[in-house]
Structure 1
Amino acid sequence: MATVKPILRIFDYSKALEFYRTWLGFRIDWEHRPQGSPGYLQVSRDDVVLHLSEHHGDCSPGARVFIDDFADLTAFHQHLLAQHYHYNRPSLFSPFYDPTALEMTVTDPFGNRLTFVERR
């Protein structure tokens, strides 16, 4: 089976690191930042892998990534709230399409949305 790695547009490398690494707990797997050129990097958290790009031709801001079967979403949600991140206070709720699931959406500083879903 093929592996899918969404590319998300970013505009500020340090803001991206603050959001994805510091707040959400993703790790930087690798980065490509030639002097004077836009940055490109891969971040991951468990089996969720994303590419973040400052290159304008790679993608448009405002994408949404649906992360299904995220384990222990309630604990992750509480961890995020406990950090008192100034720009994002996500809620946790049961979505209309599946009352047995839990869902949380966070929006990065560039308008991209990550929707985490746990099936109970």
Structure 2
Amino acid sequence: MTERLAPVLRVRDADAAVAWYARLGFARQWEHRFAPDLPRYVSIARPGMEIHLSEHAGDARPGTLVYLYVDDVDTLAAACGGVEVGSQDWGRDFVVTDPDGNRIRVGTVPA
């Protein structure tokens, strides 16, 4: 097994969240639900990254910030509606907020 980190984000509607994160290149990997009427726990991933989305109220706090390092920040900014990419000392990045108030900062380090 390769070690990895998977931050957990609180979401109200896992299907809506999966669709929103698709613009950042994430796809659903698996889903768990204890019973049909209970909250879902979903894994989404893209190469080298995994995020867990939880409808369970106690799993994470809304409004979390996650930083994603990517190779092509401009393509993802365009996929997010053409948001502006800023230049910082640490690289170029932008921030978007998912439908549940979680902030996702996407950036690339200087070459």
- TM-score bucket of the superposed structures, by smaller chain: 0.7 to 0.9
Identity rate, percent? 33
Partner of 1:112: 102
Give ranges in structure 1 of 5+ residues lacking alignment. Answer: 82-88
Deviation of residue 2 (structure 1)? 4.5
1:7-66 CA-partner distances (Å, limit 9, x unpaired) = 000011232122113x33311110113300101010011112100000011111000011
Q: Distance in 1 between matches of 2:80 and 2:92?
A: 16
Aligned pairs for 1:59-70 (under 5 A) are 59-68=60-69, 70=70
Partner of 1:73: 73
SS in 1 for 2:86: coil
Normalised by the size of structure 1, how large is the TM-score?
A: 0.80
Count of residue pairs brought into register by the alignment: 108
The CA RMSD over aligned residues, in Å, is 1.8
Normalised by the size of structure 2, how large is the TM-score?
A: 0.86
Write 1 or 2 for the structure with the bigger share of strand: 2
Q: Distance in 1 between matches of 2:29 and 2:78?
A: 25
Give ranges in structure 2 of 5+ residues lacking alignment. Answer: none
Moved over 4 A (4+): none
